Amino acid sequence: MMANNEVTLANVAGHFRLEGEVSSIKAYGDGHINRTYLVTTDRKRYILQKMNTNVFPDTENLMRNIELVTSYLHSKGKETLDIVRTDDGATYYADATGAWRIYAFIEHTISYNMVPDAEVFRDAGAAFGDFQNELASFDASQLKETVAHFHDTPSRFLDFKAALAQDREGRVSGCREEIRFFVDQADWYPKITDGLSNGSIPLRVTHNDTKLNNILMDATTHKARAIIDLDTIMPGSMLYDFGDSIRFGASTALEDERDLDKVHFSTELFKAYARGFLGEVKPSITDGELRLMPESAIIMTLECGMRFLADYLSGDTYFATSYPEHNLVRCRTQIKLVREMERKLEDSHRIIDEVMKELG
């Protein structure tokens, strides 16, 4: 017997061309944005998602982007998301409760919230590098921008200051130290966006949300199988993709670890990822990009940290949270990581040089 909410979800799923009879629908995964469910039928498994229309209001163009990118990747023989169509042949279904989509479940894979060993992270780097190379020949003019100024860090800082000024929940007085940290770090924010504007960093097509749980690894071999969460594919900088992967994966703890003594920036993991990523993008990476790789990790970590804090100050309306201080806890891990990344900045530059030499 299915519970009431499962019946409602089953009604939604009933509008899609599924194989078999639905037997269960359960909440699934650790994404912060969409509501994700695992749908099981007597023949197959699927991922049902209630899309976050606050974050992505233009569902039509969002799904059009994903359709274009996935058919392009399919044509190149890559494993990627498979959109399951509705009875009407559409890529999503909208009703009074929201906008819904279904993907085939990519079987026999795992996604990690923490790097299990350096080799897996190196492989993730190679997969995101390869993804970058594949997208290089994709016609970017077909894509619509799904979220304006997504990795425009100076603009994120303005949003952060607006949340601070509003203090909607009266939380500002409880996190003065964290707020001060992001105000003091402001010199970092325009480093990538300035490079894009003055032409020293090329604009490419990028994934823009390259955290480790957005890549599926084979459950047996642990090799990367598919890059998922394609909602934010847009023109951007390769440094966004590199930096965000490091932010999440080169930490020795979970993004929401409360015990900051466990949270460290690992240069060993940084090196592993850089080896995989640069191994793929070396032929196309520019000197301007290469020079800023260690800095990109700092900038992406600062950006994410201030987004968590801004959301905490605004009453947790953006990221999914499980308890009231969840976003503040996440923000603190980002601060800890930035402090260590700054301290180890020279080491990180040395590592990039070593890896480039190794690659010949």
Binding residues for Mg ion (CB under 5 A): 31, 214, 229
- CA distance linking residue 193 with residue 201, whole number of Å: 9
Site for ligand ADP in 155-184 (CB under 6 A): none
User: CB of 283: closest distance to ligand GN1 in angstroms?
Assistant: 28
- CA distance linking residue 23 with residue 221, whole number of Å: 30
Site string for ligand GN1, 7-46 (x = CB under 6 A): ------------------------xxx-------------
For 82, list phi and psi in degrees, rounded to 5: -115, 110
214 contacts ligand ADP (rule: CB under 6 A): yes
Q: What angle do CA 192, 117, 74 make, to 5 degrees?
A: 65
User: CB of 127: closest distance to ligand ADP in angstroms?
Assistant: 14
228 contacts ligand ADP (rule: CB under 6 A): yes
- CA distance linking residue 319 with residue 314, whole number of Å: 11
255 contacts ligand ADP (rule: CB under 6 A): no
- CA distance linking residue 279 with residue 133, whole number of Å: 11
Site for ligand GN1 in 49-68 (CB under 6 A): 55
User: CB of 33: closest distance to Mg ion in angstroms?
Assistant: 7
- Tell me which of 47, 48, 124, 281 binds ligand ADP, using CB under 6 A: 47
Choices 165-173, 229-237, 263-271, 287-295 (CB under 6 A): range interacting with ligand GN1: 229-237
Choices 70-78, 120-128, 206-214, 321-329 (CB under 6 A): range interacting with ligand GN1: 206-214
Among 33, 211, 32, 20, CA closest to 105: 20
- CA distance linking residue 88 with residue 251, whole number of Å: 45
Contacted entry of ligand ADP, ligand GN1, Mg ion, none for residue 81, CB cut-off 5 to 8 Å set by kind: ligand ADP
Site for ligand GN1 in 235-294 (CB under 6 A): 244, 255
Contacted entry of Mg ion, ligand ADP, ligand GN1, none for residue 255, CB cut-off 5 to 8 Å set by kind: ligand GN1
Place of tokens 């998301």: 81
Kindly state the tokens that stand for 270. 């940084």
229 contacts ligand ADP (rule: CB under 6 A): yes
Would you say 233 or 278 has its CB closer to ligand GN1?
Answer: 233
Site string for ligand ADP, 58-87 (x = CB under 6 A): -----------------------x------
**Cβ atoms of 35 and 10 closer than 8 Å:** no
- CA distance linking residue 157 with residue 306, whole number of Å: 7
- Tell me which of 122, 211, 275, 326 binds ligand GN1, using CB under 6 A: 211
Kindly state the tokens that stand for 139. 């016609």
- CA distance linking residue 157 with residue 182, whole number of Å: 8
For 335, list phi and psi in degrees, rounded to 5: -65, -45
CA torsion angle 329 331 337 342 (round to 10)? -150
**Cβ atoms of 199 and 110 closer than 8 Å:** no
- CA distance linking residue 354 with residue 348, whole number of Å: 10
- Tell me which of 13, 18, 33, 238 binds ligand ADP, using CB under 6 A: 33
210 contacts ligand ADP (rule: CB under 6 A): no
- CA distance linking residue 124 with residue 118, whole number of Å: 10
Residue facing ligand ADP at closest CB distance: 31
Using CB under 6 A, count the residues that bind ligand ADP: 20
Residues found near ligand GN1 in the complex (CB under 6 A): 31-33, 55, 209, 211, 214, 229, 231-232, 244, 255, 304
Q: Which residues bind ligand ADP (CB under 6 A)?
A: 28-34, 36, 47, 81, 103, 105-106, 111, 213-214, 216, 228-229, 231
